[in-house]
Amino acid sequence: MDLFHAREHVHELANLAGRLLAGHRDDWLAERLADLDAGDIPALIAAGRHLRFCGSLARERDKALHYFETNAHRMHYAWYRSLGLFVGSGVVEAGCRSVIGQRLKLSGMRWTENGATGILTLRCLEASNRWEETWQPPSQSRAA
């Protein structure tokens, strides 16, 4: 789950609670972003539940918190960083542009959907160094 996308959801929740939090909105937002960065989604959800809304605002809050409840298992950002992993989607998006653009978008190229799928599959296998895992060379024995 992209950290920056999740941060947008925290900002939306803070904007929803702006009047309720009065002059403390920015502090509340900073604390929730720190919770998110640490991967402490239960603390973020608990803080959101403490926002006492009525009617449609309560439904909006619940909808915003539902995003975190259903995706919490994907939001262990501090742990991901400790493993040296990226927590944003920019690297993946750049990799896709590189793999696709390098082979499919060269001048004058035209592809059918099947042809593009086939060549992209091969490019992804090569780019991920997983060629040997999937390639099965033809058998050396011949039928008599």
Q: What is the mean pLDDT of the chain?
A: 85
144 part of a folded domain: no
Structural domains of the chain, count: 2
pLDDT at 62 over 90: yes
Q: Among 11-25, 50-64, 109-123, which stretch is predicted with the lowest mean pLDDT?
A: 109-123
Mean pLDDT, residues 76-80: 90
Looking at residue 71, its pLDDT comes to 93
Q: What phi and psi, each to the nearest 5 degrees, are found at residue 129?
A: 55, 40
Looking at residue 140, its pLDDT comes to 59
User: Do 113 and 74 lie in a common domain?
Assistant: no
User: What value does the CA radius of gyration of the chain take, rounded to a whole number of Å?
Assistant: 23
User: Do 95 and 53 lie in a common domain?
Assistant: no
141 part of a folded domain: no
Name the residue range of residue 111's domain: 90-134
Mean pLDDT, residues 46-53: 92
pLDDT at 139 over 70: no
42 part of a folded domain: yes
